[in-house]
Amino acid sequence: MYIKVTKVINHSGLHARPASLFVAEAKKFDSTITIRNTADGENNAVNAKSIVLLLTLGAGAGTEVEISAEGEDEVQAVNSLVAIIETGFGE
């Protein structure tokens, strides 16, 4: 398992458009990928390939999220998803 923590930097957070970009990127990988809002405790990790579940995190601007993946491309998956968040989804 590979894990990284990052902060949502775009002003509108993970709303519909950024969430759809995030999910599209996550679906490129074979690994099982989860994301969680670190402020909500340990048990709120959701499937990063589900836009509905991703939107339930309530990850607004400044929210710290943990992305974890398990599988053959876990490092590439996590690094790619962290990068997309850290670029602010082009906003």
Annotated catalytic residues are 15
Asked whether the beta carbons of 77 and 4 are under 8 A apart, the reply is no
Q: Are 8 and 89 in contact (CB under 8 A)?
A: no
CA neighbor of 37 nearest in space, from 85, 88, 74: 85
